[in-house]
Each structure stands twice: as C-alpha cells, then as structure tokens.
Amino acid sequence: MSMAELITEVETGGHGSVCITIPPDILPDLPNSDFRLLGKQGFVWYEDFVAFRNIGDSRSYSVKIYLSEELSLQEDIKRSILLPYTVQPPGELLVTGSYGECHSFQITPGKYQLLFESRFMTDQEIAASIEYNRRLSEVGGPNPEFGEEARPQLFIFTFIPTTDEVEAKIIHPTYETLVRQYRGLITSTGFDPRKELVLHHTSRPPGYP
C-alpha cells in the first residue's frame, strides 16, 4: 500500500463531537470534566473510546476513514491531532456522532497512530451531501446569521500502523496561530494547545457497558 486506502465514508451528525469506539453501539454519558476537556484540547481519549470536538456550529459531518503506511497531513485543515490507538481483536470499530447513529468498520488489530483532521466542507462537497441537504430541508434552509461556522464539516481519521510509542500531540493549530487569528484573545475560544494533554488510561468512560 503506497498511498492512503479509504476504508469507509459515512455521513452523520451531532451536537459537538464525533467518536471512534468499539461495540456495543451505546454512547456513554461523559462526565462534566470530559466535556471541559473537549473544549480545551479538542478531544477526550480512553483506550477504547476517543471523541473529537467539532470546529464550528454545524450538526452535520462527513467522515472519511483511511489506512496509511505513513503520516501525511492534508492541506487546508483547520485542526489536526495525533493520538495513540490500539485496535483489539476482532478489529471491529464504530464511528458515531452524538445523535447516536453508529457505523461499523473493520481494521486489522494492532497498534496505530490515529491522525484526526477536520475542516469545513467545500461548496462542491456540500452539494453532493445527500444527508446534509436532507437535514437542511427539514429546518427550512441554512441560517445566514451563522455564516462560515455553520458549514458542515469533514472529519478525516487516518490509522497508521506503528511499533513505536505514540506521543499525543496537537499538530494544528499551534498556540501562535491562534494568537494571530484571535489577536491575543485566545481565551475566547477555550481551545489552548499549550496545555498538557490529558489521556485517561482506562478502557472506557465511566458508566460505559
């Protein structure tokens, strides 16, 4: 495999995050401390459950999941985060938004770098999104007051096999990028790449079956 292989592509939605987890297809009620982490570092990590925060106000997402031999960053990405992830046998995982729609996919068990990337969808991608346009018709069209932040989002997950220890890191945006973007008012976003990243070294969130 010389290039990234597309494993699956789904359309889903939710109020603020998209998750990679293992069956059963029941989302946990995350503790308040985890919701605060979602805002501060953009993700919540457990050994069998990872949630990533969206980058705007839209509740519609397109999700693409890839398998790749090497770490390669895409262009025009608004946020990218690298995390460790171990896929346990038999290799079945779920991707789901907070609406509870679960989509299963298979991947070879083993140790991976998990690269999460997100950006807003292009006009062409939006026009081709059947699920987004269905949701939009139910509410009478887009709300112009929200502007760019209400565009549906593309979430890209890339699994890169590895035998090395993987250090969790926020690749983009950097703290310096945010300072320039918000003219020093970084606290208004809640997201702060300077903070030490928190990983919960238990298998699943409290209350998860």
Tell me: pLDDT of 21 over 80: yes
Residue type, 68: S
The pLDDT of residue 186 is 45
What digits encode the pLDDT tens for the residues 70-104?
998 888 888 899 999 999 999 999 998 766 678 89
Q: Is the pLDDT of residue 53 over 90?
A: no
Domains of the chain, CATH where assigned? 5-188 (2.60.34.30)
The one-character DSSP state at 139 is T
Residue type, 124: Q
Instruction: Tell me the average pLDDT across 45-49.
Output: 91
Report which of residues 110 and 128 the model is more confident about. Answer: 110
pLDDT value at 192 more than 70: no
